[in-house]
Structure 1
């Protein structure tokens, strides 16, 4: 089973989360701008992105990437995570709905969010999310 953690991070908060998810999953860690593979080759994927603007995914790199690969997510185990600095997590709820509509299986049933910099507890939850992704 091939697993990857693909993320975008502006401040480093989501990057810290991505590293912890990858550690838990024993997965390849890839910044979205560096991804050049084929999503179809992966059985399990974790996606990380910070909330931006009006509680949306980052619009210059991550959103176009994600929109382009959505059709390949059906039946795959997916984990979602990211950090935010305002709002109530609406961006994650919208992202969860989107992934479910794509036919993916959302491990743990919901995405994992951290307010601002992830705490040690948040990072442990990220490692656990990575473990759940590959079980």
Structure 2
């Protein structure tokens, strides 16, 4: 597949900026990036993809956003086995527990978490975080 989907939920724009940087990495690697909010992603396209990225910031007591993202991730878990998934998101407090929990969920569903762990940053992504996102995009493009 020449397209790599980057589906995300963002409240303040930090996770959206990370998604855009992942998309840049995918494009730089010669693939087409489809960067979209989870409300606009085609679940059929996501299910057909061998590799894709999912992004969500930490919410509340370091959990995924519960209204839209949590049900979306639950749906992805049903077909995650064998998929290569890049995870990313920002946080404002805590130590990244929401990402470790998300990684564990995807691995338990049979997915491979690309890079071994999710890409996280505190608050607005800095240059290093954006470079890590681009690198994730390039890695996903190579797997797609």
Structure-2-length-normalised TM-score: 0.90
Q: Which residue of 1 aligns with 2:30?
A: none
Q: Which residue of 2 aligns with 1:123?
A: 130
RMSD over aligned CA atoms reads 1.0
Q: Which residue of 2 aligns with 1:30?
A: 36
Q: Which residue of 1 aligns with 2:10?
A: 9
Equivalent residue in structure 2 for 1:80, among 87, 105, 109: 87
Distance 2:12 2:43 in 1: 25
Any gaps of 5 or more consecutive residues in structure 2? 28-32
Q: Which residue of 2 aligns with 1:18?
A: 19
Question: Greater CA deviation, 65-74 or 91-100?
Answer: 65-74
Q: Which residue of 2 aligns with 1:50?
A: 57
Q: How many residues align?
A: 135
Equivalent residue in structure 1 for 2:75, among 68, 92, 101: 68
Distance 1:97 1:37 in 2: 22
- Moved beyond 6 Å, runs of 4+: none
Match of 1:57, SS state, is coil
Q: Which residue of 1 aligns with 2:107?
A: 100
Distance 1:36 1:77 in 2: 17
Question: Greater CA deviation, 34-43 or 24-33?
Answer: 34-43
Distance 1:85 1:42 in 2: 31
Any gaps of 5 or more consecutive residues in structure 1? none
